[in-house]
Amino acid sequence: MKLTCYALHDFAPKLVAARPQRQWMDDFPDRHAYRCLPLSIANAHGWDVLCPAPVEIEWNGGPAVGDLAIRALKPLPGGRPVEHFCRSNFSRGIVTLHVDYIFRTEPGWDLLATGPFNAPKENAYPLTGIMEADWLPYPFTMNWQILRPGRVVFEEGEPICSIFPIAKQALLDCEPEIRRLSDDIELGRQHQAFRESRDEFMKRFHAGDPDAIRQAWQRHYFLGRHPDGTTVDDHLNKLRLKEPIDRRGGLPVAPPRVEPSAAEKATHPRWGQQSPLNEIKTAQTAWNRAGRGRIDRDGRLASRGNTYLVRSQQDARDCDFLVADDLLTEEECATLCRAFAELEDRTFKSAEIDPYWNDRFIWHADIASARPEAGGIMSRALGRAIARIRSFYRLTVPIYPDLLQIVRWQAGMSMPPHADNVNPDGSPHKMAYRDLSGIIYLNDDYEGGELYFTALDIAVKPRRGMLIGLTAGFHHEHAVLRVEQGTRLTMPFFLTFDPAKADRSLLQQLPA
């Protein structure tokens, strides 16, 4: 199903997938409010329109339109007056916000618009509307009721409206019936089993049973299972919706490509005439510096502007780096994630390396010795990845692996922009022999952590099992944006044309 979002102008507010986090839930000890699965699923249910600039609303309690004072606390994008975005249409303390989109659903689907779920706002309440968006040719507005005289501020980037499609006839076709629980013998049995299991657990918990205290809460509903262990089909314990794809201008303007001379091509007879490498220059440019400037000190993109988001192989069809969906199967990814968790004691620790990497990765050799099945998955995946990269870049000579590991990125971590074989200040790079790089993603149940290419202004939101292949120089300089929630697991590797720099143990384990 597709929801098409027609922006009325280039400075329409940002539209993003609803985020699962809530500050009031974060503030609980151990963030245990997120254990309530219905709340967590609802948090992420829909797409949010974000406030483009901070706006202050003050109501004196009167019934007239003029009793609401509205001020922009900083200029709005496009320099437009605040009343073009926010004003009172209904009076009586109701403020109207313009979302500046025409939303078009597929036939038979309406659009529900409301405030973000489970996000109470001091002194303001969202008014909910349902639109027939499968034909509506004009935009709707979002209204909030100010509850009492006083001041309300919508901050920049705060959701002002949440939307999601709903089936047009679903409620008309629904006929509620009230019955006794005893009318359904099987449902009554399941309900009683849940009650007895819960009561028994709570007795043990309050009696100080160490196993119950360590478990802290039962996870039957969260995991989609009955107390007897029977699982439920199609159970959902996480909702992460797709980010809107900006199709207004296609790929962002890329750095100008300069055709290498015949002499330059002759000195690098390692790839064919149709290889993307023939159009990639290795020197640092102003595009790199501009891209670095888009990343703030916390590892986030300060402004996404025209940043192009890649979420699949199809999205990257016009890019000069490789994106391959499903290089690893779901089962293979699960096996490697499980192996990393079970081999926690083998994470690399040394006073000789940058503390940034300490206790965060496990070498392939260590995984293979302790978990041969996982080690085999890694080496076979490396072989498939090399074959895909050789084909994409049309290499005509062998290329050799250097390094293979699984790396953990926990919430709050990021990595600043860097190239894999050159330093921005011109100083010698310890791995200047690395020619190409690759990353295989083992999970996607985390927030943030996109791979951002500075010179291209492209961000990749990886999916489980995805491979990204890239060059090691400045053209594909990249950053890992801040992981906002969860743990990101990746399997990076490097490739070199120099056989003397190859990892011999990896070479021996590659498929023939």
- The residues of the chain that CATH labels 2.70.40.10 are 4-167
- Residue 366 — very low, low, confident or very high, per pLDDT cuts 50/70/90? very high
Give the pLDDT confidence of 434-493 residue by residue, as tens digits: 999 999 999 999 999 999 999 999 999 999 999 999 999 999 999 999 999 999 999 999
Count the neighbouring beta carbons within 10 Å of the beta carbon of residue 488.
23
Name which of 161, 159, 142 is nearest 96 in CA terms: 142
Give the angle 219-224-228 at the CA atoms, nearest 5°.
Answer: 75
Residue 205 vs residue 326, higher pLDDT:
326
Q: Is 257 helix (H, G, I), strand (E, B) or coil?
A: coil
Tokens representing 263 are 């002499």
CA dist 60 and 94 (Å) reads 12
Whether domain 274-509 has CATH 2.60.40.10: no
- The residues of the chain that CATH labels 2.60.120.620 are 274-509
DSSP string, 163-205: EEEEETTTTTT-------GGG-HHHHHHHHHHHHHHHHHHHHH
Q: What is the pLDDT of residue 300?
A: 94
Tokens representing 22 are 């809530």
Q: For all residues of the chain together, what is the average pLDDT?
A: 88
Give the pLDDT confidence of 191-242 residue by residue, as tens digits: 888 788 878 877 887 788 777 666 655 566 666 677 777 776 766 666 777 7
Give the pLDDT confidence of 33-84 residue by residue, as tens digits: 887 888 888 999 999 999 999 999 999 999 998 899 999 999 888 788 898 8
Q: Give burial (CB, 10 Å; 0-12/13-18/19+) of 497.
A: middle
Q: Give burial (CB, 10 Å; 0-12/13-18/19+) of 11.
A: middle
Q: What is the pLDDT of residue 333?
A: 96
Residue 290 vs residue 489, higher pLDDT:
489
What whole-number percentage of the chain has pLDDT above 70? 91
Q: What is the pLDDT of residue 47?
A: 95
Count the neighbouring beta carbons within 10 Å of the beta carbon of residue 340.
24
CA 249 to chain centre: 22
Whether the Cβ atoms of residue 488 and residue 446 lie closer than 8 Å to each other = yes
Q: Each residue of 141-168: b (16+ CB within 10 Å) or e?
A: bbbbebeeeeebbbeeeebbbbbbbeeb
Q: What share of the chain is helix, strand, coil (3-state, %, to 5)?
A: 25, 25, 45
Give the pLDDT confidence of 78-119 residue by residue, as tens digits: 788 898 899 888 889 999 999 999 999 998 899 999 999 999
Q: Which CATH number fits domain 4-167: 1.20.1050.10, 3.40.50.1100, 2.70.40.10, 3.40.50.300?
A: 2.70.40.10
